[in-house]
Amino acid sequence: MNPHKLAFTRVLPASELPPNAKKPLSIEGKAILLCNVNGQLHAISNVCSHNDKPLERGRLGNGWIACPTHGARFDLATGNALCLPATKPIATYEVRVVEDWIEVLV
Amino acid sequence: MNTRTLIPGIKNASSEPAKGEQRCPGAPSTQDIVASDKVRAPGWVRSESYQFLGDQDISKDRYIDPAFARLEMDTLWKKTWQFACREEHIPEVGDYHVYDIGRFSFIVTRVAPTEIRAYYNACLHRGTKLRASGTEGNTDEFKCSFHGWSWKLDGSHQETVCHWDFPHVDPKDFSLPQARVERLGGFVFINMDLSAPTLAEYLGPEIKAHFDAWKLENRYIYLHVAKRLPCNWKLAIEAFMEAYHVIETHPQVAVSNGDANSQYDVYGEHVNRFISPLGVLSPHLYGKHTEEDILKQFTLGDSGALGGGERSLGKNGSARQVMADMFRGMFEKATNTDLSGVSDSELLDCYSYTVFPNTFLFPGISLPMVYRFRPDPSDHRKCLYEVLFMRPVPVDGSRPMPAEPIRLRDDQSFCEAAGMDAGFGAILDQDTDNLVLQQEGLEASAKPGITLGNYQEIRVRHFELAIEKYVKPKA
Ligand code: FES
Ligand code: FES
Ligand SMILES: [Fe+2]
């Protein structure tokens, strides 16, 4: 993390992302997907590292998301690819809740 | 002490008991133990179904010959019902779970709220797997990552990229081939054999009734651990089919386990079971321990649900009754479930059922596991073992997501899996250590087969008879 760039962006009221919901957003020109897995928030790139398809319609599991196009799975916390056909990670972003707002560090 | 009733007429004229009729002398039977419980056990517990099936040695080539393993792949694995996943792995339409057996792979997917299908996991263009092995997800089409051919959820062919180049491809003929699917108790079973008996026929009416009584559809997976074991898959399975090894392999357990007086039953060709009573002393140890010792030594598969409860015997209490009463209260509290109608035996005892070829179901509460064993397709001396722990779903109706499998390395202890009960993990380690020695010993041995006890090892024989039926069918 770059300490000189600590600008969290306020993106969504926390109430609009209930458990097991997803929300695609564009923050500073980046396609980002907010995910709530059983109350745990994650912000990841919405672009699959396999073939650049959007992840937003992918299934959320216990700590992972599966790309709907060819089925690559990614770890929501680290962005690591968990299975073929992806081998490269996707970006992940810091996320926090302040005053009932979800904030993402992009 | 021996309160087992001898039924007149089943003994030989010569007063020598018939083969398989002998039981552990001087010990109550499992049925005796269960009969004196406060909260009465259901009918499926209070019944027996033993059958003597011969006492010949079982030839050892099936464990050590790679050709036998290849034969198994082309015979029994293609013809038997196998547990592929739980329904909760694929709760929504479009959810899929990839199940592999040997070189075969299936996409098990929910195509409608009440319909699940299993597609052979291979593109009909040039064969690429449509989904990687060991994965899950959700989709509305299965698109191949190589050239992009795709199939709808219902298996019909959706798109041939550059169809102009494939005038010989009629989409009608390019639906994804399927295996059969049946569901029971929240389990999804598949069978590659399109002319196999139904799952209900395969299990038989009695076992189907046991399943119906268990209501395992009302459980969820709270822990799932997988590890490769250093032996043929059949040796691994057989190591869990008897309590005969408890005294030597798991002496720490014997203090609170009726090992030598466990009950063994066989049902038709594909299912067998044991009931191993807990909260009672091993007949091997009679006179050496008090009821207090039994209480202290009790091992649980799901102690996480219990917290560190005080165990005290009170006045005139039996360890078994104290444990039953305590478990009922604490499990209910810890897991937010209602166990008021559940018998003492169901709370305490180890019920181990095998559904041929490779699934164990433990429908009890304190030891609530499912085991699955699969051969390693590249090494007949290795297999993949999975243990899934299941808890009743909370009374508020919420259904937690099934736990992700934790894959241990070969050199790791089962105790290293987060959430594994330490006592239970130690038991599995003890079993694994035997198995590597057994695999090597069979290969080293001058003896051509293994020898089995008539009663305590009946499940091993019953299992091996089914192996023979599928692998070497008589002409
Ligand atoms: S684009 Fe995501 S798996 Fe191919
Ligand atoms: S191999 Fe699947 S599209 Fe070519
Ligand atoms: Fe064991």
Cα(B257) to centroid(ligand 3), Å: 12
Strands (E) across B161-302 are located at 178-184, 187-191, 219-229, 263-267, 271-276
B407 and B261 within one domain: yes
**CA-to-CA dists, residue A21 to A35, A56, B392, angstroms:** 6, 10, 26
Please give the residue range of the domain that contains residue B333: 30-61+215-471
Q: How many structural domains is chain B composed of?
A: 2
Give the whole-angstrom CA distance, residue B173 versus residue B160. Answer: 12
In a domain, B173, yes or no: yes
Domain end, chosen from B195, B225, B252, is at B195
Q: How confident is the model at residue B472 (pLDDT cuts 50, 70, 90)?
A: confident
B310 and B278 within one domain: yes
Domain end, chosen from B160, B195, B230, is at B195
Confidence at residue B306, expressed as pLDDT on a 0 to 100 scale: 59
Instruction: Return the ligand number nearest the Cα of B130.
Output: 2
A84 → chain B, closest CA residue:
B132
Structural element, H or E, at residue A26 = strand A22-27
Q: Which domains does chain A have, with CATH numbers?
A: 8-105 (2.102.10.10)
B40 and B159 within one domain: no
Mutate to test the pocket of ligand 1, among A45, A57, A67, A83 (most ligand atoms within 8 A of CB): A67
B220 and B191 within one domain: no
Q: Which residue stretches of chain A are H helix?
A: none
B436 and B351 within one domain: yes
B455 and B332 within one domain: yes
pTM over 0.90: yes
Q: How confident is the model at residue B14 (pLDDT cuts 50, 70, 90)?
A: low
Whether the pLDDT of residue B447 is over 70: the answer is yes
Residues with CB under 5 A from ligand 3 (ion): B 431
Cβ(B390)–Cβ(B302) below 8 Å:
no
Cβ(B471)–Cβ(B68) below 8 Å:
yes
| pLDDT averaged per 10 residues, chain A (length 106) | 70 96 95 96 98 97 97 98 98 97 96
Amino acid (1-letter code) at residue B273 = R
B428 and B306 within one domain: yes
Mean pLDDT of the B237-258 span: 96
Domain end, chosen from B129, B162, B195, is at B195
Give the whole-angstrom CA distance, residue B77 versus residue B84. Answer: 12
Atom of ligand 1 nearest to the CA of B145: 4
> Comparing C-alpha atoms, which of B39, B93, B12, B90 is closest to residue B344?
B39
Stronger pLDDT, B95 or B307, i.e. the higher one:
B95
Confidence at residue A50, expressed as pLDDT on a 0 to 100 scale: 98
Q: What tokens appear for B431 in the block?
A: 């079993």
In a domain, B425, yes or no: yes
B86 and B55 within one domain: no
B266 and B298 within one domain: yes
Confidence at residue B2, expressed as pLDDT on a 0 to 100 scale: 43
CB contact under 8 A, A61 and B144: no
CB contact under 8 A, B130 and A71: yes
Give the whole-angstrom CA distance, residue A43 versus residue A101. Answer: 14
B421 and B333 within one domain: yes
In a domain, B4, yes or no: no
B289 and B350 within one domain: yes
Give the whole-angstrom CA distance, residue B87 versus residue B94. Answer: 13
